[in-house]
Amino acid sequence: MDEALYSQLKKEVGEYVNGRLHELSDRIEESGECGPDVWRELRERGYLRLAAPTEYGGYGLSFTQYLQLLELFSQSHGSLRMIVHVMNGIWRPIDFLASPEQRERFVVPLVRGEITAAFALTEPNAGSGADIRTAARKEGDTLILNGEKWLITFGDTADYLMLYARMEGTRGYEGTIALLVPRTAEGVEIVPMPPTLGLTGTGHARIRLKEARVPADHLLGEVGQGLASALNGFLDPSRVCVGMTCVGLAQRAFDLAVSRSRERVTFGKPLSQRQVVQTWIAEMATDIEAARQLVMYAGRLKDEGALTPPPASMAKLYALEMLQRVTDKAQQIWGGIGYFKGYEIERIYRDARAQKFEEGTAEIQKAVIAKHYLAGEG
């Protein structure tokens, strides 16, 4: 998108976040739900197809342009930013392996909002990688699936599961497959999971597959390409995106802390005049900007077609740990009242804990980075 149009779009999103989305945030916290009307509003405004190519019906933003808008959305409610984040990325792993026919059948309708999909990789008894246990076998023109997935964001409502499994009898990356599983497929049981600590209104599901029958033409790519779709098609760019969601939420926590420091008076003096608070403010501002620049660096690599796992993991790792530091200090500046429900800083503190687990923990990011350098690739 050219800079003039993009500047107008960015202004529009900023006004929407600071106006309408703050109203929705309060409603979601009170009701405990992020209903279909919210999805519909975000979809009708075009905010769920920002990152997709124009030929698919998207806005065609560069990755760095999209990241800047994601930072703004992340300053609102956790469930709202989760919808924007997931729906602007879920088309990628499908498109990564899709045939031209599958692209028209699945990817384009997904971008347009005619269908929804959830990313289903994580399992209760395996990590999110080459040790997945969900198994498939082929019988004629049908794939038979057995296994279990859990913690699947939007798995409770999505029309399709972008699901990863392995052909029976295979190990490691060998035999991994990616396929779209209709929620209505025979043998698929979808069980909503309990509410989370934060992200009020975001649904998660446990998926049980018992001799589940899926048409073979729902297989994306070839046998053995499954995890390539998950890692290269989704996780690397999504880790960068999660990094930017950390930046956005930290920025909001910082802004609230600065405002509070000016308002709150103790012993006849505003907190903003206390040296320790000034030190915290300086540390927070520096931390946020350092994370923003690292995320944007990874974003530029993505735009150049040069994004690899280490920069993506670095962006997520640093931004995640920055967010924990900033929200801790922000709540400390707010004092005891910031621990009470009904205050935005309390919700932000809860929401900020979600990014610890999205697209891999800090320990996973460190393992990815260390592997790269210990292999002599740095």
What span, in angstroms and rounded, lies between the C-alpha atoms of 133 and 333? 46
- Report CA-CA distances (Å) from 371 to 34, 127, 377: 40, 17, 9
What span, in angstroms and rounded, lies between the C-alpha atoms of 206 and 284? 37
Q: What's the token pair of residue 3? A: 């800079």
What span, in angstroms and rounded, lies between the C-alpha atoms of 66 and 6? 10
What span, in angstroms and rounded, lies between the C-alpha atoms of 359 and 234? 9
- Report CA-CA distances (Å) from 125 to 121, 122, 156, 318: 12, 9, 20, 28
Ordered DSSP codes for 79-111: HHHHHHHHHTTTHHHHHHH--HHHIIIIIHHHH
Q: Which of 290, 281, 302, 291 is nearest to 355 (CA)?
A: 291
Name 176's Cβ contacts closer than 8 Å, sequence gap at least 6: 130, 132, 164, 165, 166, 170, 223, 224, 225, 226, 227
Say which of 44, 139, 359, 363 is annotated catalytic. Answer: 359
The one-letter code for the residue type at 281 is: I
Q: What's the token pair of residue 138? A: 């082929």
The alpha carbon dihedral of 127, 367, 325, 256 has a sign of negative
Q: How many residues does the chain have?
A: 378
The alpha carbon dihedral of 101, 67, 21, 93 has a sign of positive
**114 a catalytic residue:** no
Q: Supply the residues annotated as catalytic.
A: 359
